[in-house]
């Protein structure tokens, strides 16, 4: 574990990255320690990567996908000297294991499937070490692609914002959730770079306060004018005319445009509709799951009740109280003004327009996601 000097801003610290050669490790910022501490941890085995994803040390759909790809690389290191059968048995074990970390963010399964496909393409052509090197090259490619996608999302989205606007965002969809600028926050950063002045309102995002701990910190680091509000204040802020646009990220987008994002996003979309405010979703094409027809098919992760009853280590609810703690909700496509992806603006948000812009599902049938959903629901859904 390494402490990053406080003098370094987010502009100079990568959220995650690979250190070394094929026997190296994944190094990432422990986001559970922000904003009070900026700490990096080294993940040298699949178990540490799984724990980092599960416990939100790394979070945000694109960053989860990148971490999973690098997780495959560390997971197969002990099989590099094995025979081909042993190497592939280990790779499948690692991929299946990492797929159990979180069920909703489709980038996790998309990245694992890409890694599988690369290994299978080299089977019989390269040694296990050669395949491990190909896997690392693919993980780095996924990482670099996300950097480029963030910039393109920002470029397309910035055109939708006007100088002097108030904008609201929910949860964290910035550099901490991706390889570079983020998705929703990329829109703000690109707008600022083009000379536009914005005032961002950041929902605190209950129960784990990603908006307060991460988004407010990240915007402050980059010099963006930001005001933190409680989730329950969004309606009042809109009614007062302080917000003219809403931009959020996404963890999975169905073929019809229904979008899963951090719990509370659906509420924000309803409030935006009630106040006639545009509601935009910013996400890369890797977040689309065209094998899922509607949002009703998206598996919703339910997390530990103690995140609500004992938030940040302090008991705030009676012992034995029943708790329901879904980590995500689904915003219907009808409430989304447009989706901003690296290929452009998807408007109207419907099956036909998504198919025209996104094309074939980036991860085919997302089979890893389907396997994971079966595990989550006992295989009988």
> For the segment 23-68, what is each residue's pLDDT rounded down to a tens digit?
999 999 999 999 999 999 999 999 999 999 999 999 999 999 999 9
C-alpha torsion sign, points 84, 138, 251, 75: positive
What is the tens place of the pLDDT at every residue in 166-176?
999 999 999 99
Residue 322 has pLDDT above 90, yes or no: yes
Which DSSP helix (H) or strand (E) runs through 343? none
The average pLDDT across 88-98 equals 98
- Retrieve residue 170's tokens: 């929910």
Active-site residues: which are they? Answer: 251
pLDDT in tens, 264-299: 999 999 999 999 999 999 999 999 999 999 999 999
Query: Is 70 exceeded by the pLDDT of residue 105?
Result: yes
Alpha-carbon gap, residue 261 to 301, rounded angstroms: 11
Domain spans of the chain?
Answer: 2-150, 155-376
Q: To the nearest whole percent, how much of the chain has pLDDT over 90?
A: 88
Mean pLDDT of 66-94: 97
Between residues 1 and 376, which one has the greater pLDDT?
1
pLDDT tens digits for range 248-270: 999 999 999 999 999 999 999 99
Write the pLDDT tens digit of every residue in 199-241.
999 999 999 999 999 999 999 999 999 999 999 999 999 999 9
- Same fold for the pair 2-150 and 155-376: no
Cα(72)–Cα(138) distance, integer angstroms: 11
Sheet arrangement for strand 344-346: 226-229, 199-203, 166-169, 245-248, 279-282, 338-341, 344-346
- CATH classification of 2-150, choosing from 3.40.50.10480, 2.40.50.100, 3.20.20.80, 1.20.120.420? 1.20.120.420
CATH topology of domain 155-376: Rossmann fold (3.40.50)
The b-or-e profile of 207-243 (16+ CB within 10 A means b, else e) is bbbbbbbbbbbbbbbbebebebbebeebbebbeeeeb
pLDDT band, residue 1 (cuts 50/70/90)? low
Q: What angle do CA 67, 54, 23 make, to 5 degrees?
A: 35
Single pTM value for the model: 0.87
What stretches of the chain adopt beta strand conformation (E)?
Answer: 2-3, 16-19, 25-29, 39-43, 166-169, 199-203, 226-229, 245-248, 252-254, 259-262, 279-282, 288-289, 328-331, 338-341, 344-346
């Amino acid at each position: 574990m390494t402490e990053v000097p406080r003098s370094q801003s987010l502009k100079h610290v990568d959220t995650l990255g690979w250190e070394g050669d094929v026997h190296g490790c994944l190094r990432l910022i422990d986001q559970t320690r922000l904003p009070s501490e900026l700490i990096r941890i080294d993940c040298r085995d699949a178990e540490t990567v799984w724990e980092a994803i599960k416990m939100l040390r790394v979070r945000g759909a694109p960053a989860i996908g990148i971490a999973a790809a690098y997780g495959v690389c560390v997971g197969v290191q002990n099989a590099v000297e094995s025979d081909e059968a042993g190497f592939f048995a280990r790779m499948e074990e690692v991929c299946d294991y990492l797929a159990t970390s979180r069920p909703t963010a489709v980038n996790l399964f998309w990245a694992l499937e890409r890694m599988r496909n690369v290994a299978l393409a080299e089977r019989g052509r390269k040694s296990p070490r050669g395949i491990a090197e190909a896997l690392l090259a693919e993980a780095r490619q996924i990482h670099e692609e996300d950097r480029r996608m963030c910039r393109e999302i920002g470029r397309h989205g910035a055109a939708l914002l006007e100088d002097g606007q108030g904008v609201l965002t929910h949860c964290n969809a910035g550099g901490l959730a991706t390889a570079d600028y983020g998705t929703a926050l990329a829109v703000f950063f690109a707008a600022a770079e083009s000379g536009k002045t914005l005032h961002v309102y950041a929902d605190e995002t209950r129960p784990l306060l990603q908006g307060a701990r991460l988004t407010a910190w990240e915007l402050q680091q980059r010099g963006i004018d930001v005001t933190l509000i409680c989730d329950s204040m969004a309606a009042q802020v809109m009614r007062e005319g302080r917000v003219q646009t809403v931009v959020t990220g996404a963890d999975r987008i169905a073929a019809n445009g229904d979008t899963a994002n951090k719990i509370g996003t659906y509420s924000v979309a309803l409030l935006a509709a009630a106040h006639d405010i545009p509601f935009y979703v910013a996400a890369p094409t890797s977040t689309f799951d065209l094998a899922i027809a509607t949002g009703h098919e998206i598996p919703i992760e339910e997390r530990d009740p103690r995140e609500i009853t004992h938030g940040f280590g302090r008991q705030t609810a009676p012992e034995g109280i029943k708790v329901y703690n879904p980590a995500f909700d689904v915003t219907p496509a009808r409430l989304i003004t447009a989706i901003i992806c690296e290929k452009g603006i998807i408007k109207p948000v419907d099956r036909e327009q998504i198919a025209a812009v996104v094309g074939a599902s980036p991860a085919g049938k997302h089979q890893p996601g389907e396997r994971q959903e079966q595990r989550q629901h006992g295989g009988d859904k």
